[in-house]
Amino acid sequence: MHPVLSTVLQRLGLGLATLLAVSVIIFISIELLPGDFGQIVLGQAATKETVAAFRLELGLDKPPYIRYFDWVAGVVRGDLGQSFSGRAASGQDRSREVAELIGPRLKNTLFLAGITALISVPLALILGISTALYRNSIYDRSINATTLTTISFPEFFVAYILILFLSSLNQWLPSLANVDAATPLDERLLRIALPVLTLTLVIIAHMMRMTRAAIINLLASPYIQMAQLSGASRTEVIIKHALPNAWAPIATVIAFNLAYLVVGVVVVEVVFVYPGIGQLMVDAVTTRDIPVVQGCALIFAVTYILLNLSADIIGIITNPRLLHPK
Amino acid sequence: MNKSSERGDLLLDVKGLKIQGFSDEKWHDIIKGIDLKLHRGEIMGLIGESGAGKSTLGLAAMGYTQPGCRITEGNILFDGADLAGLSDVQKKKFWGNRMTYVAQSAAASFNPAHRLILQTTASTIRSGAKSKDQAYSDAMDLYKELNLPDPQNIGDRYPHQVSGGQLQRVMTAMAMSPRPDLIVFDEPTTALDVTTQVEVLSAMRKIVEKFNTAAIYITHDLAVVAQMADYIKVLRYGKEVEEAPTRKMLSSPKEEYTKSLWSVRSLEKQEQQKGESVLSLKSIDAAYGSAKVLFDVNIEVAKGTTVAVVGESGSGKSTTARVITGLLPQSSGIISFDGEELPKALKDRTKEQKRRIQMIYQMADTAMNPRQTVGEIIGRPLQFYLDMNGAEKRKRTLELLEMIELNGDFMQRLPSELSGGQKQRICIARALAANPDFIICDEVTSALDQIVQEGILKLLLRLQKDLGLTYLFITHDISTVKAISDQVVVMNQGSVVEQGQKTDVFQPPHPAYTELLLSSVPEMDPDWLTNLNAARQVD
């Protein structure tokens, strides 16, 4: 077997093990949430007996490890469980499947993240490479200062400033991004324009600065001096000689920022009223809807693991020592 | 090789060159007014110790200055054009085209991401001198000319897939590919083993002669430059000491400094006869994980003598040191020290056993904590092994500093404030602080200039005499072996090839490997390489 393939399989196995560990942590931290779901739903007035009956119905009376294994067994079968909300003391069950709740929200989140990535990653790479090429020039300094400024402000602030200028003072873009399944694609793109712009401004600095730093770091290598002494132009030195050796750190930072786009954008969702997975999870935490919280957390974990795995793979295939062993 | 009778056209004319470098917030003079004339087809050897400015001068001959350096005065006339006055873009028309560069570390100077043939031919193709096909087939011819194995296909490999000696020859092919007028060789064989060095030197000389290319050959090794150069220029502190045709320079150097460089190699210890054994290794096998690295090693070290362990990289000499110190427990075999068997692992040894065996390392730089003062570095073993504290510790530290020919002013200094030779002296003092009987010296002079090396070797010899120390001296350098040893152990690929008294080992007949090793050590005779290649051809 090619060593790259075996490394990838090994990493995949490691990712699964991490996921299992994360599932335990998720479960325990939810156990540690203060308050009791039954008490919260039924209100302070509910008698002890009613609460106990309600807990029995939801299976909350079982010991935690049994509930954990039930949950994991369900997840393995593709069943994230039933949401707790929608049940009431009356005994009527109008609760929904967790997957059904999360599904459309996840799609929205991935759509927003995907469009943002499509714009910000190439832009960050171009800016990173060009600032490395013209380092210490006015261009380099102004790009660095600008991106540092945008990353330094809290994202809600950036969002409100953008709304103020692009939506309030000039009615160019909609300030609300409330899409649903029926919204056509062009309308959808227009509505998410501001959230995309906000997120791009927030994540671009990190990726661009890493690209710049990774390239400049390599410029001190003897093989760069060698390339210069064999007559290579500045652009050739950066693109042909430095960049191919800089992918591993760049990919890691890109993966980190893409993961943030999936798991960390709840504030932006709230500002623009965008129905993403972040809002769903926050709501679920407030209502103690444990299965939904667990489902969201698990999806976040999978996102992190998959993206980091891809960064690792890029690191491997761009390293000739690993790709072409002796 | 002496062509002084019929010199070609003047190719390179460096006049009154001054270069400054920026460090510690100030500009310092690195090159302080040097002239250099090179005619077509000639090879100029630049020689000097580290800091002499020889690499800076070699690069400046191409009009290149390292980042942080600047040319302040002088002209670099290359075939009529003054490189000192040209912009980078203009100079790049010369680089990789009419002048090329061969760097010291081929492993670091090839881009790890590209195949060798691509890098060999890049500048030739860029300049439009040859089409891609022509350049590739020419590169294969050059590989063949340089005796590289499988010249048709070796270019498809990546740098990490070939050996250091092969890589250095590929770099020579790369330098030759555009058929330049001038090649600058910057210490191209310094990082290679001697047996590899011979092959690389022969290949480089052959190809430079074949295309009648002018070259600047930078090195600190006199014997190497004697094989390569028509003229030798000696540099010191950024100034020229003297310049002369090679033979003349070797037979009758004028300046004191040059003579001192020449004399270092003549140091030779009076051999001591073998006495009572203090350390013995019996049938030692050792492995890193599943890779076996030592095979049935037997070594006896007599009290008060020096045993030199000599071999090339990968021969197992440093591993032997690690086994003796307990850092790498042997997989089988017995080590006895002063009559008692030593436990295999360091953690099982008593403090007393540890105290009696000390070690000095090759890189004094990395063997000291950069945040500790000299006083703390030397004081630590005094406290740990001998329970010394306060005034007693201070007094002993001062004594130790005197022993290594330094004074009390050094107590408060940090390693970064010391020169290379001083650092190694502090490491020696640290080893001595434990009052050891036995010191392992692992390539302790390899990273130092020749004159500094001589000082350290003399110090070690004097300490041995005064304190009755026993040394195990690991080195790859034969002249160091001659200078310091009583007995010699020759190692190759994890096994002892030969051992015995120094005079016996250096006396023919030799086992095949010892013969190869000894005959590969360059000598100060300019005909040495020619004669050696002729002799090996006959075999």
Could you report the per-residue pLDDT of B299-342, keeping only the tens digit for each? 999 999 999 999 888 888 989 999 999 999 999 999 999 989 99
Q: Is the pLDDT reported for residue A13 higher than 60?
A: yes
Residues of chain B positioned with their CB less than 8 A from the CB of A321:
112, 158, 160
Tens-digit pLDDT profile for residues A43-72: 777 788 888 887 887 777 788 888 888 888
pLDDT at A202 over 70: yes
Same domain, A133 and A249: yes
pLDDT at A14 over 50: yes
pLDDT of residue A79: 84
Distance of CA A280 to the CA centre of its chain: 15
Q: Judging by beta carbons within 10 Å of its beta carbon (0-12, 13-18, 19+), is residue A20 exposed, middle or buried? A: exposed
From A78, A72, A91, select the one nearest A20 (Cα to Cα).
A72
Q: Which of B56, B59, B89, B111 to mutate to test the interface with A (most CBs of A within 10 A)?
A: B111
Percent of chain A with pLDDT over 90: 51
What number is the average pLDDT over the span B131-160?
93
Q: Which chain B positions have a beta carbon within 8 Å of A244's beta carbon?
A: 111, 113-114
Over residues B266-288, the mean pLDDT reads: 85
Total residues belonging to chain B: 539
Q: What's the confidence (pLDDT) of residue B3? A: 45
Chain A contact for B185 (CB, 8 A cutoff):
no
- Give the pLDDT confidence score for residue B2 in this predicted structure: 44
Number of H helices, E strands in chain B: 20, 20
Cα nearest neighbour of B124 on chain A = A230
What confidence tier does A87 reach under pLDDT thresholds 50, 70, 90? low
Indicate if A170 and A221 belong to the same structural domain. Answer: yes
Judge contact between A259 and A303, C-beta under 8 A: yes
Residues in A closer than 8 angstroms to B120, CB to CB, are none
pLDDT category at B480 given cuts 50, 70, 90 is confident
Residues 6+ apart with CB under 8 A from B83: B62, B63, B76, B77, B91, B94
Residue with the larger pLDDT of the pair B51 and A128 = A128
Residues of A with CB under 8 A from a CB of B: 221-223, 225-233, 240-241, 244-245, 318-321, 324, 326
Yes or no, beta carbons of B112 and A321 under 8 Å apart: yes
- pLDDT above 60 (res A242): yes
* Domain harbouring A159, CATH code: 1.10.3720.10
Cβ separation of A229 and B95 shorter than 8 Å? yes
The answer to whether position B537 is within a domain reads no
Same domain, A206 and A308: no
Number of CB pairs, chain A paired with chain B, less than 8 A apart:
75
Q: Is B179 on the interface with A (CB under 8 A)?
A: no
Q: Is residue B458 part of a domain?
A: yes
Q: Give pLDDT tens digits for B94-143.
A: 999 999 999 988 888 999 999 999 999 999 999 888 999 999 999 999 99
Do A152 and A241 fall into the same domain? Answer: yes
Identify all chain B residues contacting A240, using CB atoms and an 8 Å cutoff: 114
Taking chain B, what is the end-to-end CA distance rounded to the nearest angstrom? 24
Does residue B238 surpass a pLDDT of 80?
yes
State how far residue B230 is from chain A, nearest Cα, in angstroms: 25
| A89 lies in the same domain as A207 | no
Query: How many CB atoms sit inside 10 A of residue A89's CB?
Result: 14
Confidence at B253, pLDDT banded by 50, 70, 90:
confident
Express as a percent the part of chain B with pLDDT over 70.
98
Distance between CA B319 and CA B287 in Å, rounded? 9
Whether A112 and A200 share a structural domain: yes
Assess whether A112 and A125 both reside in one domain: yes
Query: Cβ–Cβ contacts within 10 Å for residue A243, how many?
Result: 21
Residue (of A227, A221, A255) closest to A240 by Cα position: A227
Cβ <8 Å between B101 and A223: no
Q: Which residues of B touch A314 (CB under 8 A)?
A: none
User: Is the pLDDT higher at B479 or at B235?
Assistant: B235
A197 and A281: one domain? yes
Write down the pLDDT at residue A122.
96
Query: Residue B207 falls within a domain, yes or no?
Result: no
Mean pLDDT estimate for chain B: 89
Reported as a single tens digit per residue, the pLDDT across A291-324 is 898 899 999 999 999 999 999 889 888 888 888 8
Mean pLDDT over B83-99 rounds to 91
Residue A135 and residue A277 in one domain: yes
Cβ neighbours, 10 Å, residue A213: 17
pLDDT exceeds 70 at position B53: yes
Domain of residue B487 covers 277-507
pLDDT of residue A86: 66
* Nearest-CB residue to A231 (from B103, B126, B157): B126
Q: Is A245 helix (H, G, I), strand (E, B) or coil?
A: helix
Report the range of poorest mean pLDDT among A66-70, A203-207, A222-226, B534-538: B534-538
Kindly report the CATH number assigned to the domain that includes residue B392.
3.40.50.300
Q: What is the pLDDT of residue B32?
A: 92
Contact residues, chain A, for B161 at CB < 8 Å: 324, 326
The closest CB to that of B109, out of A223, A232, A324, belongs to A223
Q: What pLDDT is recorded for position A94?
A: 66
Among A83-87, B187-191, B287-291, B423-427, the range of highest mean pLDDT: B423-427
Report the gap between the CA of A319 and the closest CA in chain B (Å).
7
Domain enclosing residue A131, as ranges = 104-285
pLDDT value for B264: 64
B122 in A contact zone (CB under 8 Å)? yes
Nearest CA to B74 out of B11, B32, B23 is that of B32
pLDDT exceeds cutoff 60 at A89:
no
Count up the domains in chain B and report the number.
1
Check CB contact under 8 Å for A231 and B113.
no
Percentage above 90 pLDDT, chain B: 55
Same domain for A75 and A216, yes or no, is: no
- Asked if residue B42 lies in contact with residue B8, where contact means CB atoms within 8 angstroms, the answer is yes
Task: Check CB contact under 8 Å for B123 and A320.
Answer: no
Asked if B190 reaches chain A (Cβ–Cβ under 8 Å), the answer is no
Query: Inter-axis angle of helices A247-263 and A98-133, to 10 degrees?
Result: 140
Rounded-to-integer distance, Cα B488 and Cα B299, Å: 10
Chain A CB within 8 Å of residue B158 CB: yes
- pLDDT above 80 (res A215): yes
Same domain as A313, residue A205 = no
Which of A62-71, A142-151, B391-400 is least confident?
A62-71
Q: Is 80 exceeded by the pLDDT of residue A35?
A: no
Query: Taking CB atoms and an 8 Å cutoff, what residues of chain A touch B128?
Result: none
Helices (H) and strands (E) in chain A, counts: 16, 0
Which is it for the CA torsion B351, B353, B356, B358, positive or negative? negative
Residue B539's pLDDT is: 63
> Do A128 and A186 sit in the same domain of this protein?
yes
Q: Is the pLDDT at B272 greater than 90, yes or no? A: no
Query: To the nearest whole angstrom, how far is the Cα of B96 from the nearest Cα of chain A?
Result: 4
Residue B126 and residue A232: Cβ atoms within 8 Å? yes
Q: Is pLDDT of B420 > 90?
A: no
The string of pLDDT tens digits covering residues B198-212 is 888 998 888 899 999
pLDDT at A29: 87
Number of domains chain A contains: 2
Q: What's the CA gap between A196 and A159, in Å, rounded?
A: 10
Q: Which residues are CB-neighbours of B125 under 8 A, at least 6 positions away?
A: B131, B132, B135
Range B234-237, long-range pairs (CB < 8 A, 24+ positions) = B234/B47, B234/B48, B234/B258, B234/B261, B235/B34, B235/B46, B235/B47, B235/B48, B235/B52, B235/B53, B235/B54, B235/B57, B236/B48, B236/B49, B236/B52, B237/B32, B237/B51, B237/B52, B237/B53
Give A232's contacts in chain B (Cβ within 8 Å): 92, 96, 122-123, 126
Residue B250, Cα to own-chain centre: how many angstroms?
21
User: Which chain B residues contact residue A218 at CB under 8 A?
Assistant: none
